[in-house]
Chains A and B, each alone.
Chain A
Amino acid sequence: MTTAIETIDAVAEAAARRRAAIRRYTRHPGFMIGAIGILLLVMVAVAAPWLAPHSPTRTDLMNTLARPSATFWLGTDQFGRCVASRLIHGAQVSLQVGFFVVLISLSAGTIIGAVAGYAGGWLERALVAVIDILLAFPSFLLALALVAARGNTLDSIILAVAIAYTPRVAAVMRSVVLTIRPRPFIEASRAIGLTPWTIVLRHVIPNALPPVIVVATVSAATAILAEAGLSFLGLGVQPPTPTWGNVIAEGQTAITTNPLISLSAGLCIAYTVVVLNLLGDGLRDTLDPQMRRNTGKLL
């Protein structure tokens, strides 16, 4: 009898806690704007073939650098391609880069960082030294050199940017793990004889995830900026495939006749980066207020 009531109470309490947590998110304006903003963008990217009024690659040399009109919302570029359609399709490249770079650099960086923070001894010192040295290489330059060596397909760009930004994630992960290592439950796990690998995978990484999730959203933004930069330099996904970066580059040559091309592509990038940063800041505030300090310093 009492146990049944206690169970009901416990369930009710858990539900109340969950509601409180959800409210914490829904009441955070930055988080909501960021979450809705990124959702919209994903929808645009997925629905690009249907949303875009024209083919993003069809040229029309009779209608170059047209002014914005009802048919060509943002006008056309110097090859007569519809700028709006190119931007809508460009979202696909940016989002893929953001998503996969985070996936790769986060998995690799989390494991490397967790081991570097937990291992102790020579392994820790060696990993920390390598991470520190890698941090000295400007990430964008590293990505550029890697792309130069591997060619500029989408895969190799994603891999290059991911490799270039992994040390950063590893560094954050390690600093977080260092704060977890002395906690009693880790000591307890060790006392009951769990192997270091089990402790890292089951206890260290899950407890370090909140700050890493924040870093993930922010590094998605950084990755998108890096891809745009590579595209702008002509080292990204090659034209005619539209990317926001190469739209800006192509628009630059026609900047005085139709500044709208470069301007609107830049706004697309900025929109994406802003919503990702808002999402990241929102997560930082809501996941764990204490975390502000851990991640605040690493951009």
Chain B
Amino acid sequence: MVFYIARCAGQFAVALVGIVTVAFFLMRAIPGDPALYMLGDFATPEALATLRARLGLDLPVWQQYGIFLARALQGDLGMSVVTGEPALAEILASVPSSASLAVAGMAIAIAVGVPLGVIAAVRQGSVVDVAVMLIALLGISFPVFWVGITAILLLSHALGLFPALGATSEPGFWKGLHHLALPALVLGLSVAAYIARLTRSAMLEVLGQDHIRVARAMGVPEWRIVWKLALRNALVPVLAVIGVTFAWSLGNAILVEAVFSRPGLGSTILKAVLARDYQLLQAGVLVLAAAVVLLNTVLDLLYGAIDPRLRQQ
């Protein structure tokens, strides 16, 4: 197990270098000149040249890459052009707000999606199954920002259950939670739909396996078979999809933050885009990708805990 943890940590480090590398070349590969992008179309050639020199864009690509990688690994992702602050610091400052949204959303998604998927699988072909699958289909089909707007309309304006603003400056944990609830619910439900679909198909596969038939023949109660013996097997593919959907829901989080006017990574990145703050945007993309890699590392550790066969390889 210690060896397994060490290996996961090693993979995490390699992946970090990987995302920095890919981000660097992706940004260089797309047509367009960052200097021109930052200064706008009416920049003077002198101003462009100065900015290029300051960003190191006049150096050969490999040298640029070396400098970029070395700095990035020291936590230096350049300065925000607009505020002049270190880009990484500015991005990291907005992480807690987004992280609480993403974590709360994921928690809701798992808490809702897994049980629904299990129930649908157990009652395959029944009205319950059809209903769950229909709701799940609708859940992945409505744009998340639209769900947000509709939720505000119904739950905030019409019923007054939750505040329409996704954040508050007032102190207090419960206050914050009250404002977080609706955005987290909106973010979580679309992911819950994916998780429910996947849990259902994973459970159907597991429930058809021999060891389940053995457990039935041994008289193990059906609820123990479903919720303990089968579910733990089904969780391995479900965890895999949680990794995929996490990246996806971070993308959605940008939209949810916009709908609920909630500060966070999304709004910072959006601000960077609108202000043409190239360095800040780049830092934001890197931090989000790093978050996904971190989550995948945690999931790898969890797989090892769930499925003993993986620990051994």
Q: Which residues of A contact B (CB under 8 A)?
A: 129-130, 132-142, 144-146, 148-150, 221, 225, 228-229, 232-233, 235, 245, 248, 251-252, 255-256, 259, 262-263, 265-266, 269-270, 273-274, 277-278, 292-293, 296-299
Which chain B residues lie closer than 8 Å to A262 at the CB level?
146, 149-150
The stretch that binds A, out of B29-37, B87-95, B166-174, is B29-37
CA distance A278 to B194 in the complex (A): 15
* 5 intermolecular pairs with C-beta atoms under 8 Å apart: A138-B251, A142-B285, A149-B32, A228-B143, A278-B137
Report the nearest B residue to A151, measured CB to CB: B32
Q: Is B96 an interface residue (CB 8 A)?
A: no
Among candidates B147, B198, B288, residue contacting A141 with C-beta atoms closer than 8 Å: B288
Among candidates B145, B157, B205, residue contacting A256 with C-beta atoms closer than 8 Å: B157
Which chain A residues lie closer than 8 Å to B32 at the CB level?
149-150
- Are B255 and A138 closer than 8 Å at their CB atoms? no
The stretch that binds A, out of B58-66, B177-185, B239-247, B298-306, is B239-247
CA distance A291 to B265 in the complex (A): 38
Asked if A136 meets B289 with Cβ closer than 8 Å, knowing A129-B18, A150-B30, A274-B137, the reply is yes
- Are A277 and B198 closer than 8 Å at their CB atoms? no
Residue among A138, A221, A263, A270 having the largest count of chain B Cβ atoms under 10 Å: A138
Asked if A259 meets B153 with Cβ closer than 8 Å, knowing A137-B285, A232-B258, A233-B258, the reply is yes
How big is the B interface, by class? Answer: 35 or more
Q: Is B269 an interface residue (CB 8 A)?
A: yes
B156 to chain A, nearest CB (A): 10
- Are B19 and A232 closer than 8 Å at their CB atoms? no
- Are A148 and B247 closer than 8 Å at their CB atoms? no
- Are A135 and B244 closer than 8 Å at their CB atoms? yes
CA distance A258 to B163 in the complex (A): 20
B182 to chain A, nearest CB (A): 15
CA distance A233 to B71 in the complex (A): 32
The 3 closest A-B pairs by CB, nearest first: A140-B251, A266-B146, A273-B141
B308 to chain A, nearest CB (A): 21
Residue among B251, B276, B293 having the largest count of chain A Cβ atoms under 10 Å: B251
Residue among A148, A248, A251, A252 having the largest count of chain B Cβ atoms under 10 Å: A148
- Are A148 and B281 closer than 8 Å at their CB atoms? yes
- Are B292 and A136 closer than 8 Å at their CB atoms? yes
CA distance A148 to B274 in the complex (A): 8
Asked if A133 meets B18 with Cβ closer than 8 Å, knowing A270-B141, A273-B141, the reply is yes
Among candidates A133, A235, A248, A251, residue contacting B143 with C-beta atoms closer than 8 Å: A248
